[in-house]
Amino acid sequence: MISTRFVLKRLLLLVPVLVGVASLVFSILHLSPGDPALTIAGERASEEFVRQVEESLGLNDPIWVQYGRFLADAAQFQFGESFIIQRNTPVREVLASKLPVTLELALYGQLIGVSLGIPLGILSAVKQDSITDHLTRIGALTGISVPIFWSGPLLILLFAQMLGWLPTSGRISVLYNVEAIRVTGLVTIDTLLAGNMEMFVSAVRHMILPASVIGVYSMALISRMMRSSMLEVIRQDYMRTARAKGQGAKITVLKHGFRNAMIPVITVIGIQFGGLLGGAVLTETVFAIGGIGTLLVEAIKVGDYPIVQGTVLTFAFLFTLVNLGVDITYSILDPRIEQ
């Protein structure tokens, strides 16, 4: 049973992390070249109009005043309005439209990675140095080594162009209006809630290729970590004792070994998932999905500072939540960690 004190302690530790990230973002953007007021007003704007924009944004205030205002707004998830990408649109609304895209991709990609990586890692460890072990290790090494910008187009060429089984890009067929049934922003979930199976099938078919590209990479990392962790656990004295008492190898591994071997694997899963929430930019670009990672890259290119600030702080917040989930999972797997 997880104690409330443990969870509250971990939640309090998130505060200095988020403040530190916010301070770093504020400092970098203020030190970066370019004038936000000039970006908003336009290069042909008069100096008087540029000064008016600076005054309206509070850019003439002392730096500590701007910093305090920035922290207060960030605590309320108020990041102002977009300068360029979606002009005069609140950043919170822009993020709300893009975040579910990346979240859905990350969830399905990680689901594929976990469901394949953990069983393969256990199998590889139990059958160490067998042909199964060698094939699994070769597959994992290949999955890590192949870059997404190569594997993505290759899958599109094979399954979309040559075989014609799956679509090449997007989240759902252009024949359907997803916004009309939007609830969560996750297309597969929204189509299920709407009870429209044709739209659901279309959404799943569009998700298979991008999720598989991410899933194969995650599977490779997870299976390698699972194998090494399970091999270490199998050699422990309590595992030998369990086998000496007459327990079968399968029961020993699953009942006594799996729980302890999962602790370092949970770390890899958490880091992977947190990184994907930060935006699988290459996957989003190859499959023309347009999630939050692509949004950040575009905002940096055009100098849309409110979008950059809001996106980076959202990344940090989500990553800290994932780390909190990892810590709680640790305490479930091994109660001694809580102490």
What does the pLDDT look like over 193-204, one tens digit per residue?
Answer: 888 888 899 989
Q: Is residue 58 part of a domain?
A: no
pLDDT digit string (tens) for 105-122?
889 999 999 999 999 998
Indicate if the pLDDT at residue 8 is higher than 60: yes
Residue 144 belongs to a domain: yes
d(CA 2, CA 330): 10
Asked whether residue 239 is assigned to any structural domain, the reply reads yes
Question: Residue 311 and residue 327: Cα distance in Å, rounded?
Answer: 24
- pLDDT exceeds 70 at position 38: no
Structure tokens at 196: 């429209």
Neighbour count for residue 335 (Cβ, 10 Å): 12
Lowest-confidence pick of 88-92, 169-173, 335-339: 335-339
pLDDT single digits (tens) 9-26 = 888 888 888 888 888 888
Tell me, yes or no, whether 198 lies in a domain. Answer: yes
Amino acid identity of residue 302, one-letter, is V
Q: What is the mean pLDDT of residues 133-155?
A: 87
Query: Could you give the CA distance from residue 276 to residue 107 in angstroms, rounded to a whole number?
Result: 9
Angstrom distances, CA of residue 308 to CA of 44, 54, 202: 24, 19, 32
User: Is it the case that residue 249 has pLDDT exceeding 80?
Assistant: no
Into how many domains does the chain fold? 1
Query: How far is residue 131's CA from residue 128's CA, in Å, rounded to a whole number?
Result: 9
Res. 279: pLDDT tops 60: no
Mean pLDDT of 312-335: 81
The sign one gets for the Cα dihedral 25, 28, 34, 35 is: positive
Give the integer Cα–Cα distance in Å for 80 and 63: 18
Residue 331 maps to a domain = no
Region 222-232: what's the mean pLDDT?
89
Q: Mention every residue, 6+ apart, whose C-beta is less than 8 A from residue 222.
A: 113, 114, 117, 118, 121, 265, 268, 269, 272
- For residues 188 and 178, the model is more confident at 188
Domain assignment of residue 302, yes or no? no
Higher pLDDT, 334 or 327: 327
- Whether 200 maps to a domain, the answer reads yes
Domain containing 124 — which CATH number? 1.10.3720.10
Mean pLDDT computed over every residue of the chain? 83
184 pLDDT exceeds 60?
yes
For residue 8, being part of any structural domain is answered with no
Of the pLDDT bands very low, low, confident and very high (cuts 50, 70, 90), residue 48 is confident
pTM above 0.85, yes or no: no
Find the domain containing 194 and state its range: 99-296
Residue 4 has pLDDT above 80, yes or no: no
Model confidence at 339: pLDDT above 60 = no
